[in-house]
Amino acid sequence: MNLAERDQHVIWHPYTQMKTAALPIPIVRGEGAVLYAQDGRAYIDAVASWWVNLHGHAHPYIVRKVAEQLQTLEHVIFAGFTHAPAVELAERLLQLLPQNQRRMFYSDNGSTAVEVALKMAIQYWNNLGTPKKKVIAFRDSYHGDTFGAMAVSARSTFTAPFWPYLFEVEFVDVPVSGKEEETVKQLEAYALGGDVAAFIYEPLVLGTAGMVMYTPEVLDKLLQICRQHNILAIADEVMTGFGRTGRHFASNFVQHGPDIVCMSKGLTGGTMALGLTSCSEAIYEAFLHDDKSKTLFHGHSYTANPVACAAGLASLDLLLQEETQASISRICSRHADFAARNKSLPYIREVRQQGTILAVEFQDSTTSYFSDLRDTLYSFALDQGVVLRPLGNIIYIIPPYCITDGQLDQVYKTILGMQEVVSGDRPYPRPDQTMLHD
């Protein structure tokens, strides 16, 4: 029995209908932007393994720093204790975040970073003696799979069994081109109604919604409304952080900084699980009190794990290098050129780009994650040696920064080849596999 067959006897994979899923592809090694399978095939990791890998697989510098930390301290309880990697990582990240960010709370992943943010925001108002219950989010948003994160995400098939258990959220439309003022008016109406604790949003790019993009200018208007009506702004930078949008954080594009920022994914360069939630000094001070019931009662066994923090520090070292910043600029430029040259091609509805994120939306009505087209395009890309995870009829690239021009060309060629599949000019067999969403 090979590894893939053994897997099927013991593993339950994420976002996968196990009854119809094909055998998974065993990966035995990764190097740079390439994954190597057990059968000898190589795949360009064009989605950075769910958007986490910044610098390439098995980066020797991160490997060395993690190994060094393991020889010193692998873990220590973070209640009543501290350690240098956690303090240094917090200090360095606060220098890159919007200037109003002052404190860091560690957790394990993106969903838990969002949970912490929501609990901070809601308890903040309770601690001040002015409790507020409402939370506002974008209609097509995705913030994670834990219950609080599901509550502030779009109501969909993925969350349907849990709707009775999710707290009520007010949703506003995503302010895409031509609908900016409509969204502004919607937020203003909810703000005037009062009782709004927080507005949570993915800045500039909604990932799982299909890499839907909007401008910093309209985000600034929305944040200004939050300021005027004492609504806390929570920036979910889990996907957009660490250079993905062309700057260290998407929040660096706007004048009005958020009150709370959620981070994960690229935080450790894709090496280990780690989450962070930063906040302003005002939020932190609302929890300082002689009454211990005003404490933020939240924590995880592996909070601020020293090894994960060491990986985060190593990834940050690499991110700030001139070579990496030049690669980010190169990828941004290549994406922009691809978008300009191909946005009017047949069967392409739209090409969207923000920084290192590129999305191509095909002219097809089957936008669902359950569509045959999604599965067909996924399989087609694998056959071209490229890992892509279509969002219905939308293909996106969010690559490691080490990806070469030649590898980018192969990814671009694969996407353009999909036109023939979409048009029906190139019949392609439907894979016996259903992978739902990111």
Out of 7, 15, 36, 220, the active site residue is: 15
Tokens at residue 344, please?
């009017």
Tokens at residue 182, please?
């409509």
**265 catalytic, yes or no?**
yes
What is the 8-class DSSP label of residue 108? S
According to DSSP, the β-strands at 205-206 and 212-213 are: antiparallel
Structural contact between residues 258 and 251, judged by C-beta atoms closer than 8 angstroms: yes
Residue 422: phi and psi, rounded to 5, are: -65, -40
N residues, the chain: 438
Q: How many Å from the N-terminal Cα to the C-terminal Cα in the chain?
A: 30
Out of 43, 106, 142, 302, the active site residue is: 142
Rounded to whole angstroms, the Cα distance separating 97 from 101 reads: 7
Rounded to whole angstroms, the Cα distance separating 399 from 44 reads: 9
| C-alpha angle 296-302-304 in degrees, rounded to nearest 5 | 70
**412 catalytic, yes or no?**
no
Query: Per DSSP, what are the bridge partners of residue 101?
Result: 280
Out of 65, 134, 221, 265, the active site residue is: 265
**142 catalytic, yes or no?**
yes
Distance (Å) of CA 34 to CA 39, 283, 333, 388: 14, 43, 22, 13
Out of 236, 259, 364, 438, the active site residue is: 236
| C-alpha angle 275-279-284 in degrees, rounded to nearest 5 | 120
**236 catalytic, yes or no?**
yes
- Catalytic positions: 15, 142, 236, 265
